[in-house]
Amino acid sequence: MASANKRITQDTFDDVVKENMEEFDMAPEEALQEAIQQFESQGVNLSNIIKTLQIGDGDGVIVHAVLKALEELQSMLNEPEDMVNKEKLVSNLQTFQTECDTDMARRSLAATNKAFQTLYSLTQRYKGDLVLLVKVLDSLCSLCNGQPDLIDEGGMLVLFEIVKENTTNEAVLLSTIKAIRLTCVMHEKNRQTYVKQGLIPLMLTVIKDNKERPLVVREACSTLRGLTVDDDIRVPFGKAHDHAKMIVEEGALKIILETMPVYTGDTVTIGELCSTLGKLAVRNEFCQEIVDLGGLKMVLQILTENVKSQVIVKQVLGMLKAIAGNDNVKVAIVNAGGIVYILEAVNKHIKHPSICEAGCGAIAAITLRQPANCNAVMEANGALVIVTAMQIHKNVDGLQKQACMALRNLVARSREYCDVILELGAESLIRDARKTCDDEAKAALRDLGCEVDLKCLWKGENHQLAR
């Protein structure tokens, strides 16, 4: 059997289409479909192939718009700068960008034809013409989307310098920071290189200098969050935690909290800021610092004032879960009335699984090892909210897992609530949840006093320890 990972080049595919037209007298569309069927029957993966046709002027040559635009751009680089028709340049950049935005196949084809080198040279040439520079950078973003390997350290330095030189130009900042963010996705080496170049303090400076520009604040926050993920499977150990620590040590918590009041009516930007805070709450002292800086009071106020906004509710609940990793913060959340606010928000959006999942996750974190907090949840009918969410969203794996953890934590040190929760019908729901979250469901059943098969898979018997 042919491998499903077998690949061919665009030229090979185009040659077969052309052969079908010339040798078998097929119409272009028929020749295209025949080529697709032929390669797929051989187990060839065509995800990197452009499967549309554009025939040249009567010569039968297959032309791809993305390559045609790229060739025009490359030819303009060979002309003296003062001889270049800028309207034509912009037109070709727009065509190139539109084609790259269409699918990965076009981006891949452009990349194999030195598109990055071309755009890099154009960036260097037009650094002083900010209008044209933005057009080039936008095209670069489209090309690098899903292809972070294209950029090298020299290209990163150029992007970095553009940001430093244009810290108050909104259009330039948006395009350049987006390019940086896209080249960090699923690429640990690029992230570490950017950090070494000083990206973290630079992004924080951008936020401070552009506090009243929501689009810039969002893009900078998104870029900072991108440094705190481990999504590159090629690297056994990333530096997500180290990067989060570095961001906080550069004063990010204070900067973000000082920026929040500017956007009390902007749910999207507030959501981005809350999400960023949550990503930075990776250490006990960071969680406490957020509270000490007034962050808890601020986000609870944001939650109550924007309880109708799904974006705000989800992000705030996620942030509360993150900072509840600190036991003192757990208590602070309850003392501030956070339990009531959380449950009211989940109740209001009970039909939205992602919000229910975030709410159950927050409750699970707040009640872990905290009997007094469990009392507050039960007094606010929290168990009913959790069970209702489980009933409505039986097929949402993440929600079922978080709900099982929350129910388990409610009774782990407060056995008096077992009967109350079981009377709500929790047992059957938890047993159903075992299909997708067996460990969490078993723990909940065990602590609720239900019968559960707890198998000891290995007892350490009948085997000698290796020396």
Q: Token digits for 155?
A: 């290209």
pLDDT per residue as tens digits for the range 99-130: 999 999 999 999 999 999 999 999 999 999 99
Residues 6+ apart with CB under 8 A from 376: 334, 339
Structure confidence at residue 72 (pLDDT): 96
Q: What is the DSSP letter of 81?
A: G
Structure confidence at residue 265 (pLDDT): 86
Helix and strand tally (H, E) in the chain? 27, 0
In this model, does residue 1 exceed pLDDT 50?
no
Its sign, for the CA torsion 123, 132, 94, 101, is: positive
Gap between the Cα atoms of 108 and 157, Å rounded: 23
* Percent of the residues in the chain that have a pLDDT greater than 90, as a whole number: 88
Segment 306-321 mean pLDDT:
96
Residues 6+ apart with CB under 8 A from 422: 448, 449, 450
In this model, does residue 57 exceed pLDDT 60?
no
Segment 267-274 mean pLDDT:
95
Structure confidence at residue 289 (pLDDT): 97
Is the distance from CB of 275 to CB of 318 less than 8 angstroms?
yes
Its sign, for the CA torsion 75, 76, 79, 83, is: positive
Q: Token digits for 314?
A: 């989800």
Its sign, for the CA torsion 118, 123, 125, 130, is: positive
Segment 368-379 mean pLDDT:
97
Is the distance from CB of 43 to CB of 2 less than 8 angstroms?
yes
Identify the band that residue 457 occupies on the pLDDT scale cut at 50, 70 and 90: low
Angle at 276 between CA 103 and CA 97, to 5 degrees: 20
Q: Residue 59's CB: how many other CB atoms inside 10 A?
A: 8
Q: What is the DSSP letter of 464?
A: P
Segment 342-357 mean pLDDT:
97
Gap between the Cα atoms of 288 and 329, Å rounded: 6
Tell me the backbone φ, ψ of residue 62, rounded to 5 degrees. -85, 125
Residues 6+ apart with CB under 8 A from 195: 227, 239, 243, 246
pLDDT per residue as tens digits for the range 185-221: 999 999 999 999 999 999 999 999 999 999 999 999 9
Is the distance from CB of 230 to CB of 240 less than 8 angstroms?
yes
Segment 411-418 mean pLDDT:
96
Gap between the Cα atoms of 173 and 46, Å rounded: 36
Segment 175-189 mean pLDDT:
97
6: helix, strand or coil: strand
Structure confidence at residue 448 (pLDDT): 96
Residue type, 221: C
DSSP for 51-72, please give it. ----B-TTT--B--HHHHHHHH
* Percent of the residues in the chain that have a pLDDT greater than 70, as a whole number: 95
Residue 85, sorted as left (phi over 0), alpha (psi -120 to 50) or beta, turns out to be beta
Q: What is the DSSP letter of 153?
A: H
pLDDT per residue as tens digits for the range 6-16: 899 999 999 99
pLDDT per residue as tens digits for the range 211-264: 999 999 999 999 999 999 999 999 999 999 999 999 999 999 999 999 999 998
Segment 318-346 mean pLDDT:
97
Q: How far apart are the first and last CA of the chain?
A: 44
The rounded mean pLDDT for the chain is 93
Structure confidence at residue 466 (pLDDT): 58
| Unique residue bearing structure tokens 């250490």 | 283
Gap between the Cα atoms of 158 and 269, Å rounded: 28
In this model, does residue 346 exceed pLDDT 50?
yes
pLDDT per residue as tens digits for the range 423-449: 999 999 999 999 999 999 999 999 999
Structure confidence at residue 56 (pLDDT): 63
Gap between the Cα atoms of 460 and 429, Å rounded: 34
Residue 198, sorted as left (phi over 0), alpha (psi -120 to 50) or beta, turns out to be left
Structure confidence at residue 22 (pLDDT): 87
Identify the band that residue 55 occupies on the pLDDT scale cut at 50, 70 and 90: low
Gap between the Cα atoms of 255 and 238, Å rounded: 26
Q: Token digits for 331?
A: 């208590």
Identify the band that residue 73 occupies on the pLDDT scale cut at 50, 70 and 90: very high
Tell me the backbone φ, ψ of residue 177, rounded to 5 degrees. -65, -35
Residue 2, sorted as left (phi over 0), alpha (psi -120 to 50) or beta, turns out to be beta
Segment 293-311 mean pLDDT:
96
Segment 138-143 mean pLDDT:
98
Q: What is the DSSP letter of 465?
A: P
Q: Which residue has the higher pLDDT, 463 or 135?
A: 135
Residue 309, sorted as left (phi over 0), alpha (psi -120 to 50) or beta, turns out to be beta
Structure confidence at residue 259 (pLDDT): 97
Segment 22-51 mean pLDDT:
90
Structure confidence at residue 427 (pLDDT): 97
Is the distance from CB of 407 to CB of 445 less than 8 angstroms?
no
Is the distance from CB of 418 to CB of 448 less than 8 angstroms?
yes
Give the residue ranges of DSSP H helices in 210-337.
214-226, 240-249, 252-259, 267-280, 284-292, 295-305, 310-323, 327-335
Identify the band that residue 33 occupies on the pLDDT scale cut at 50, 70 and 90: very high
Q: Which residues pair with 55 in a beta bridge?
A: 62
In this model, does residue 393 exceed pLDDT 60?
yes
Identify the band that residue 2 occupies on the pLDDT scale cut at 50, 70 and 90: very low
